[in-house]
Chains A and B, each alone.
Chain A
Amino acid sequence: MRKLFAPVSVMLAVAATSAAATVSLKLYPSEIRVHAGESQMVLLVATDSEGVTREVTSDAKWSYSAPSSAAMAGTRTLTALKQGSGELVANFEGVALRLPWKFYPSVVTS
């Protein structure tokens, strides 16, 4: 199992001449484990070659597998619709980060 609160991260190769280009991306949390009916916010942070960090959650393009199991509200909240597993994908400046999810069953009482 991944360490929950560590990010999914990727380092990017950047040409030496690219001033202030994005050099790393971090996606929090590292995986989503919620019960059906619950939601999880996500956060995407970019760091450029000068070390400046910027939250780019709303700037990324988001997609996900198994659309019948999940729904994305806005650009930062994934809601679990039913039990299952899948992947949330963030695309930013041509780089994709994959965040696995596991949705657990829920029993709604009367």
Chain B
Amino acid sequence: MEVLPERRHELSFINDIVPIFTKADCANSNCHGSVRGQKGFKLSLFGSDPELDYDAITKNSEGRRINRDDPAKSLVLLKPTMQVAHGGGPRFKVGSPEYKLMLDWLTEGAQYDAPGQARLRKLAVYPPEYRLTGIGSTLQLVAAGEYSDGSVRDLTNIVRYSSNIAAIASVTNLGAVKAEIPGETAIMARTMGQAAAVPVLVVKDRPMANYPAVRETNYIDKHVFAKLKRINVIPSDLSTDEEFIRRVYLDTVGHAPTLAEVTSFLSSTRADKRVALIDQLLDRPERADTWAMRFADMYRAGYNEAGQKGGGAYGRWFRDQVKKDVPYDEMVRQMLVSQGRHDFEGISNFYFVSREITPEESGTNVSQLLLGLQIECARCHNHPFEKWSQDDFYGFAAFFARVSRKDMYLNNHNGTYLRESGDLLHPKTQRPVTPKYFDGDTEPVRPNEDVREKLAVWVTNPRNPYFARATVNRIWKFFMGRGLVEPVDDFRVTNPSTNEPLLDALAAEFVKNGYSLKHLERQILNSRVYQLSSVTNDTNRGDQVNYSHFLTRRLTSEQILDSMSLVTGIPEKFPSMPLGKRAMSIPVLPFMKPHYMMKVFGRNDLREVICERDTKPSVAQVMHLVSGDTMQRQITTTGGNLDAWLDDSSLSDRDIVSKLYLAALSRKPHNDEIVAALEPIQSGSVTKESRRGTFEDLMWAIFNSKEFLFHH
């Protein structure tokens, strides 16, 4: 039998008293756990810093919060029991277990723990996940903590519970969960600076007796459909060929297919024509532009002084890497060790994701962009929901202590350089910090060594628990419209993914196949999940997180502009760019002259502090579509496809309507649509101008339709 040291059965400030403040909701971010505390009483957030809490209770404000001569008269007891006025209201009652525990501790002398006191090392709540079947059904959670001396303590009545969405599943102060309405949420448990989460699924009924068999193409389908079956949701039908070709073109080459491409695909009788089309598109050069645009957004190409030249070089670097199918881990290694002049060495812009190149900014950005970890809270205090401490934050930031910016007279010529020496000082100790990996060892830096090289190896190590999962989650969102974890850069225990087995499988496949973007892209595009229709059924209408149907979303400004231009045959002119340059191939725009349509549709002329597009609709967007000069120019400029069709005597007006529908929407028009389109020229005298005007109106109507403006 394993032998543990005897544990003195005495009250522990850390293990018995600190949890009371978390449980009673005193140490949350809206009360005494806030940055400034409350009414002069400042506790650490969720008990993450017991020493701070001890000083706050026993020493600060001249020690007036405790009364050693008459413990029951201590403010720390009188206030939460409302024996004296307390702005936070009653937190527990006189005589309650919490009251007795605190009174005992005060009576015993209100001591801090002796050195070596066992500390909570891991908190777990079980069951690890749960499905509640039936509204009103319940579950009692059980919490247990593993301590540094190897013992275990039942914490079911100690932890603070909360539900991410209490409307779906509520939880009592003692861990009893109740199903309220169908949906998904997670129950959080927190104490002593530790947190755990239990994903909870609420379904109304038992599984359907006649759930249909759904064909699976690959492992993605297996994991998504297994989840859907568990929650009684039937996936939508497979998309039509018309829906599929438009979708897959927009996601790979960045624009809708041309008339010729649509016609060819729809007329093909090959059984594997979707697989073949995906293979063709993955080899198209425009695919590199689409990826370069995604990376330019993600890595904020062209931010600040790096400007158009640096951003342009950065965008070209991404495009070249994708063209050569350079594995993503190799790209990331190059980014992490990059230096040089921004306009010559595109990759040297990597550290320019923030206005200032400081170790703290770089540590924050690298952890968020590459590892999906938001650790910035730990810059000022231990992370409230995660295990990251201030030491973790500065340990990671220290990898970038020597990364610096070299300012030139012309901002466009600035660069990123590695200094020969330099340390990051810890704000508390003012001593140099040794670089330290998350969950890992320190990495002492030798003279003249670029410690970023070792960091790059650690980040891209196949066993790194963060990198592959964070990367596939972003890639998944590019194609599916929503990350398995949202926000995509906020992986934490208290923000679980909606399909953990799928996330694990995607990451494993990504690593196994050499971090190939193309390979993963091919797997996603070939999955039935990707190819599901956006048309919902009775069971999946409300689903937005389980990929039971394709999630519709507005096209980006580049997709709209390039698709429109292909329909009309009229090249769009972008400031400072040659006529005919595709919008998707311009990762950074000149900030003095942004293209108006790109600006109002969420494209930043300079990359701001966000790394995802603003997808919200606006009045400016509507007005520009309805009466702006972009569409007017595209529709009315002569010499394009419309004039060619009008001049072709072999084409009837019905044929031209069909061509417009196929070119813009990848489908043939319905009969009522043809009738409506041609109604103005069915009677009376038809002039050349009125005939063209009719088709201009039709183009305007199509370009303003949701079917054209949305990805579906």
Give the distance in Å from the alpha carbon of A1 to the alpha carbon of B9 in the complex. Answer: 25
Q: B422 contacts the other chain (Cβ, under 8 Å)? A: no
B206 touches A106 (CB 8 A): no
B512 to chain A, nearest CB (A): 26
B130 CB-CB contact with A under 8 Å: yes
Which residue of chain B has the shortest Cβ distance to A54 in the bound complex? B133
Q: Are A7 and B126 in contact (CB under 8 A)?
A: yes
- The verdict on A28 contacting chain B, using a C-beta distance below 8 Å, is yes
Asked if A34 contacts B153 (CB within 8 A), the reply is yes
A106 touching B154 by the CB < 8 A rule? no
Q: CB of A35 within 8 A of chain B? A: yes
Q: Does the CB pair B151–A107 fall under 8 Å?
A: no
B152: interface (CB < 8 Å): yes
| Interface residue tally for chain B (C-beta within 8 Å) | 33
Judge whether B142 is part of the interface by a CB distance below 8 angstroms: yes
Residue of B7, B130, B138 near A53 (CB, 8 A) is B130
In the complex, A93→B78 CA distance in Å?
A: 51
A106 touches B9 (CB 8 A): yes
Contacting residues, chain A, for B142 (C-beta < 8 A): 28-29, 41-43, 76
Interface check B456, CB cutoff 8 A: no
Question: Is B623 an interface residue, CB under 8 A from the partner?
Answer: no
Q: How far is the CB of A104 from chain B (nearest CB, A)?
A: 5
| Residues of A with C-beta under 8 A to B151 | 33-35, 104
A38 CA / B131 CA spacing, docked (Å): 30
Query: Is the Cβ of A4 less than 8 Å from the Cβ of B146?
Result: yes
Give Cα A8 to B305, complex, Å.
59
Q: Identify the closest chain B residue to A31 (Cβ).
A: B152
Q: Give every chain B residue within 8 A of A41 (Cβ-Cβ).
A: 140, 142, 154, 156
Within 8 A of A (CB), among B113-161: 122, 124, 126-128, 130-131, 133, 138-142, 144, 146, 150-154, 156
Question: Is there contact, CB below 8 Å, between A35 and B131?
Answer: no
A23 proximity list for chain B (CB < 8 A): none
**Closest B-chain residue to A47, C-beta based?**
B131
In-complex Cβ contact of B126 among A5, A85, A106 (8 A): A5
Nearest-CB residue, chain B, relative to A1 = B2
Do A35 and B127 contact each other (CB < 8 Å), given the known contacts A4-B144, A40-B154, A42-B142? no
Nearest chain A CB to B208 CB, angstrom units: 9
> Taking the complex as formed, is A52 at the interface, i.e. its CB lies under 8 A from any CB of chain B?
yes
A29-62 interface with B by 8 A CB criterion = 29, 32-35, 37-43, 45, 50-55, 57
One of B6, B7, B207 near A51 (C-beta < 8 A)? B207
With beta carbons under 8 angstroms apart, the residue of A39, A53, A76 that contacts B140 is A76
Q: What B residues does A29 contact at CB under 8 A?
A: 124, 126, 142, 144, 152
A42 to B152, CA, bound (A): 13
Kindly provide the distance from the CB of B699 to the nearest chain A CB, expressed in whole angstroms.
52
B488: min CB distance to chain A, Å: 28
Does chain A have a CB within 8 A of B1?
yes
B324 at the binding interface (Cβ < 8 Å): no
A105 on the B face (CB < 8 A): yes
CB distance from A64 to the nearest CB of B (A): 16
What residues of chain B lie closer than 8 Å to A35, measured between beta carbons? 7, 9, 151
Q: Which of B127, B128, B150, B152 has the most CB of A within 10 A?
A: B152
Report if A106-B127 is in contact (Cβ < 8 Å); known contacts: A53-B133, A85-B1. Answer: no
Asked whether A51 lies within 8 Å of B230 as measured between CB atoms, the reply is yes
Cβ-defined partner of B133 (8 Å) among A37, A38, A52, A104: A52
Residues on A with beta carbons closer than 8 Å to the beta carbon of B153? 34, 38
> Is the pair A57, B144 in contact by a Cβ cutoff of 8 Å?
no
A109 and B146 contacting across the interface, CB-CB below 8 Å: no
CA distance A108 to B623 in the complex (A): 77
User: What residues of B have a CB within 8 angstroms of the CB of A85 in the complex?
Assistant: 1
Enumerate chain B residues within 8 angstroms of A38, measured Cβ to Cβ. Answer: 153-154
Interface residues of A (CB under 8 A from B): 1, 4-5, 7, 20, 26, 28-29, 32-35, 37-43, 45, 50-55, 57, 76-77, 85, 102, 104-109
- List the 5 shortest-distance A-B pairs measured between CB atoms, nearest first: A5-B124, A28-B126, A41-B142, A50-B207, A33-B152
A7-B126, A51-B229 provided; 9 other pairs, C-beta below 8 A? A26-B127, A29-B124, A33-B152, A38-B153, A40-B154, A52-B207, A53-B133, A76-B140, A104-B151
